[in-house]
Chains A and B, each alone.
Chain A
Amino acid sequence: MVSLLLILVVSLFFSGIIIRTKSILSGRKGPGIFQPMLDILRLWRKGSVVSKTTSFIFQIAPTAYFSSVIMAVLMIPHGTYPGIISFEGDFIMFAYILAFGKFLMIISALDTGSSFEGMGASREALFSMLVEPAFFILLGSFALFTGQNSFHDIFSTLHYGSQISYLLGGLASFVLVMIAMIENSRMPLDDPKTHLELTMIHEVMILDNSGFDLGVIMYTTNLKFAMYGALISNFFIGMLPFEISVPLFFAIQIGFATAVGIIESFMARFRMGHNPQFVFILTSVSLLIFFGVLLVLGKFA
């Protein structure tokens, strides 16, 4: 319950912070941090334009995408407070329930029969496939490290004994930040700033969505960012008491959003053909974490 409320709060201003960071770094004043949410609220009040080619898939996909992310958010713990849904192996369901939303978004892009949206759909499917192993190896390593099998048990028993385990925590945060960037199709992979048709993955998939549905999709993106931020914060919260953990949570989320803003200000988008290599790096970093865990546990003996 705690983490759900915290994530919902953060999702209101997460992309605002990213935009604010970017505007400050480029020497502009920029909008307030709640502006993106206000835009979404306006979209929620609008009518829509629907393509004649589409079917009911196009209508249900945004809602399904949103509810899949909500279900995933329900599984995220906050330190010693478990998520609303918590059981052994919940992170497996976490990954697969997100896949449900992705599945529907991909086919809803194909539903429009457009010559652009299929391209985004194809890339979304490819990159989410490539990112999956990194997530599972990461969770597998930490399951092995703590001897536990669920989000809550892993994070509540996680404590760093030696220097090498701090390294593991740092690497894990790096992997999760990058997973979040890939899942949301942000900067090194795709540039959401460019005009809609020129972006390559997520934005091109939702070209035909408008009005309420577009608002839902945009809010879901924010929610997804906040969700990954909460996951990262769990690597540091551990067994800290509530008074410290909540400010720490916000600090980490804001830090995460600022980092995204900085990355997007100073990096150029990769060539599409180089993206799979980049995504594979994450898998190898996760494998590094796994071997680190084996080292810490003395399994190499």
Chain B
Amino acid sequence: MGTLQEVLGLMALVLGLGITGLILISERYRPFLALLIVLTNTILSSIPSFQALAGGQQVGLFNIPHFAGELSIRIDSLSAWFILIINFTSITGVIYGSGYLKAYSHLKVNRELHWIFYSVFHASMLWVCMFEHGLGFLIAWELMSLSSLMLVIFDFQNKSTLKAGINYMVQMHLSVALLSLGFIWLYVRTGSFNFEALGHLPMDDSSIWVFIILFAGFAIKAGFIPFHTWLPHAHPAAPSHISGVMSGVIVKLGIYGIFRIVMHLQHDWLLFGEIILILSMLTSIYGIANSAMKSDFKQMLAYCTIENIGIIGIGIGIGLMGIGNNNNSMAILGFGGALLHTLNHSLFKSLLFFGAGSIYQQCHTRNIEHLGGLIKKMPLTAIMFLIGSMAIGGVPPFNGFVSEFIIYNGLFKGLLGVQGITQSILIILAITGLAIVGGMSLITFTKTFGVIFLGSPRKEFYHEPEETSFIMLLPQYLIVAVMFSVALAPGFFFTNATKVVTGSFPVQLSNPSFSMTTVIDNLTNIGVVSLIFISLLISLYGIRWLLVRNRNAALYETWGCGYVAPIKKTQYTGQSFTRSFGLLFSFLVREKKSAEKIPKRMIYPAPYSLSTSYIDLLERYLVLPIAKRLTFMLNYFQFIQNGQIQSYVLYGIFFIILIFLGTAFNLIH
């Protein structure tokens, strides 16, 4: 394998050839070619990543002649961790997508564009992780945002999809604007565009602002509140494999960015850590409370992503506080837990989105209140969805528990180690927050799974739903296999996450206050306990089966408490399931009722409708008013976009003259 710049060049070459191929070959083979491109780029990027995780950081200089000059690139352990996550999720996404898009065979152009942008999207995400130079990073970042936008608006003939896409585009460019500002500020202060230069910022008050601006830029991508509003719109609009990959990976690149900047933080760890911890706690509680109330299952999953970003953020906050307190175990457990949760979330969230996609394709509705009883029609999808739901709820023996356990462990270590009352209270609040979030996700996912898959069907469908094709189930099996490997061998995964932490942050494993072996022992214990639990469950169920198999089990209607003519509509619905929760947390989730007024003099009853929905308070009262003000102001500039080609040409000439004059008078160097 050559140097890193050769790898990057090869990837670009593969992408270029692949796109040409995708345009030329016939419709049938496009998914295979797309898979081939993704696989080739996966192999190309994974080899240096494995080398980096083994300890050898890969560096290089990538030359873009006449344009940007030499840009430094690198794959260190942090990049490697994220590159491997991206690769796995993208491969499962492309396999699932090839099955999912079969239903859209009438949209030829959409599908052709889709595969092209999918391969660009995959490569650009990898480049985001590879560029050390800010300019190259921004180019890759922009490429990623635009290609994912094109993927989101797959169904661009649909107006609401397009609207969600524009919302996504605007918010992503807000992020790019903030990041550019941050990099320019960095360049002005240090004379370098590299991330590394963040570590050489002079120690004064203004240098922390560079971090805050960059953090805000990445937080938009990651979906921290109040920057989360793009997620609940973009995810339902996109095709499911794209939602899966977006939620599993794109959002995580925001986390990557945050890791990338905080690893160069030289002072104020405590302040930054506390800010991130508080913000993350609020994010996760806000996310899951909204998630519990949504009856659109893809929106529910989108809000749940926000919750999990919060959990990852709690890990990062704890890690930073650990460095600030000089407490190695807190730092390693915090950052390590955050990294492992990043991996775990990318697994079960893409699994859940794939399941959601299968349901949507069979039933053509995203409203859970119209579903029910699907476990009999789609048993395999149901089992996969159940595994995903339990894993995301963080219950053992699944992988979500492992990372939450590590974060909890970091919190408890912190509780015993930190000095001062403020930090103690902050940490106990974080523990409480995590516990509440765990309970709320139990509510959310029992509701979602129960209402979608269990009970009787609430609505008759024109097409009877049936189990999805093998090609759409295969990626789900792959994901579940990896999930169980994390759950049963957490020690291995955590050791690798620790390598990333020690490679990126000023912490040592050899420090006497921290014993890596006890942590690994603990994690091994969790794996063993999970295994015992699974075998206990199976053996007890076996005993039960042996005991009851010869007894008579009469089949009967569900007990209606004496009422003999129950109808399906009287089943408990999702909304009634969470109603008391919603009332209790009405400061986070506001119910909005819209009802027709019943006319006063109505002799005979006529159809009457009432609908309730839950509004996102931050979006309604914070983001939208600001956006409204901005649009109002920008209306004055509308004359520029007048739709006449002549005036656009005029603008071009105007700017050329401006630049010419600028150089002529030495105003621009």
Contacts and interface: CB of A to CB of B under 8 A. Distances in A.
A113 to B, nearest CB: 3
27 contacts: A47-B554, A50-B555, A51-B555, A53-B557, A56-B375, A63-B537, A67-B540, A71-B532, A96-B405, A100-B390, A100-B397, A106-B442, A106-B450, A110-B451, A110-B454, A112-B455, A113-B372, A113-B373, A113-B558, A115-B570, A117-B572, A125-B447, A126-B584, A129-B440, A132-B438, A208-B559, A216-B544
A113 B442 CA distance: 19
B412 A89 contact: yes
A122 B293 CA distance: 13
Nearest to B434: A136
Contacts of A121: 446, 450, 572, 577
Contact of B571 (A50, A56, A118, A208): A118
Contact of B421 (A56, A149, A299): A299
A87 B490 CA distance: 15
B32 interface: no
A143 B525 contact: no
A51 B558 contact: yes
A294 interface: yes
Contact of B556 (A50, A55, A197, A294): A50
A181 interface: no
B438 A197 contact: no
A103 interface: yes
Contact of A47 (B396, B420, B434, B551): B551
B561 interface: yes
Interface string B418-459: 001100100010011011101110110111011100111000
A284 to B, nearest CB: 11
Interface string A82-120: 000101110011011101101100110011111111110
Given A67-B533, A114-B571, A47 B439 contact: no
Interface string B285-327: 0000000000000000000000000000000000000000000
A106 to B, nearest CB: 4
Interface residues of A, number: 78
The listed residue with most B CB atoms (<10 A of its CB), out of A110, A135, A141, is A110
Contacts of B557: 51-53
A290 interface: yes
B409 A92 contact: yes
A115 B559 CA distance: 10
A85 B525 contact: yes
B584 A276 contact: yes
Given A87-B522, A99-B439, 7 more contacts: A71-B529, A96-B404, A100-B396, A115-B571, A118-B571, A144-B424, A216-B544
Contacts of A49: 553-556
Interface string A24-45: 0000000000000000000010
A96 B395 contact: yes
A87 B541 CA distance: 27
B580 interface: yes
Contacts of B572: 110, 114-115, 117-119, 121-122
A122 B577 contact: yes
A87 B525 contact: yes
A115 B536 contact: no
A269 interface: no
B548 A48 contact: yes
Contacts of B529: 71, 85, 93
Contacts of B424: 144, 294, 299
Nearest to B451: A110
B428 A52 contact: no
A128 interface: yes
A114 B558 CA distance: 6
B456 to A, nearest CB: 5
Given A113-B372, A114-B558, A97 B540 contact: no
B408 interface: yes
B558 A53 contact: yes
B431 A137 contact: yes
Given A67-B536, A99-B438, A149 B541 contact: no
B442 A102 contact: yes
A107 B454 contact: yes
A211 B556 CA distance: 14
B416 interface: yes
Given A71-B533, A88-B409, A299-B424, A136 B395 contact: no
B496 interface: no
A125 B443 contact: yes
A114 B556 CA distance: 13
Contact of A197 (B420, B435, B532, B561): B561
Nearest to A272: B580
Nearest to B584: A276
Given A48-B553, A99-B438, A132-B438, A63 B544 contact: yes
Nearest to B389: A103
A contact face: mostly helix, strand, loop, or mixed: helix
Given A46-B551, A111-B455, A113-B456, A140 B446 contact: no
A286 B536 CA distance: 34
Contact of A89 (B522, B540, B554, B566): B522
B136 interface: no
A85 B556 CA distance: 42
Contacts of A133: 432, 435-436
A64 B538 CA distance: 9
B117 interface: no
B552 interface: yes
Interface in A59-76: 60, 63-64, 66-68, 70-71
Contact of B560 (A57, A110, A114): A114
A211 B548 contact: yes
A122 B558 contact: no
A103 B438 CA distance: 12
B415 interface: yes
Contacts of A92: 405, 408-409
A123 interface: yes
Nearest to B580: A126
Given A52-B555, A133-B432, A118 B442 contact: no
Nearest to A123: B580
A255 interface: no
Contacts of A112: 455, 558-559
B401 interface: yes
Contact of A126 (B443, B533, B541, B553): B443
B217 to A, nearest CB: 34
A134 B552 CA distance: 44
B395 A97 contact: yes
A212 interface: yes
Interface in B606-624: none
B479 to A, nearest CB: 20
A53 B522 contact: no
B518 interface: yes
A207 interface: yes
Interface string B364-377: 00000000110110
Nearest to A148: B416
A164 to B, nearest CB: 17
A50 B415 CA distance: 49
A100 B560 CA distance: 28
Contacts of A85: 525, 529, 532
A287 B394 CA distance: 24
A137 B428 contact: yes
B435 A113 contact: no
Nearest to A276: B584
A223 B536 CA distance: 17
Contact of A140 (B409, B412, B450, B559): B412
Nearest to A204: B561
Contacts of B571: 113-115, 118
B415 to A, nearest CB: 6
B455 to A, nearest CB: 3
Given A48-B553, A89-B412, A137 B395 contact: no
A102 B518 CA distance: 31
Best-buried of A52, A68, A112, A283 by chain B (most CB within 10 Å)? A112
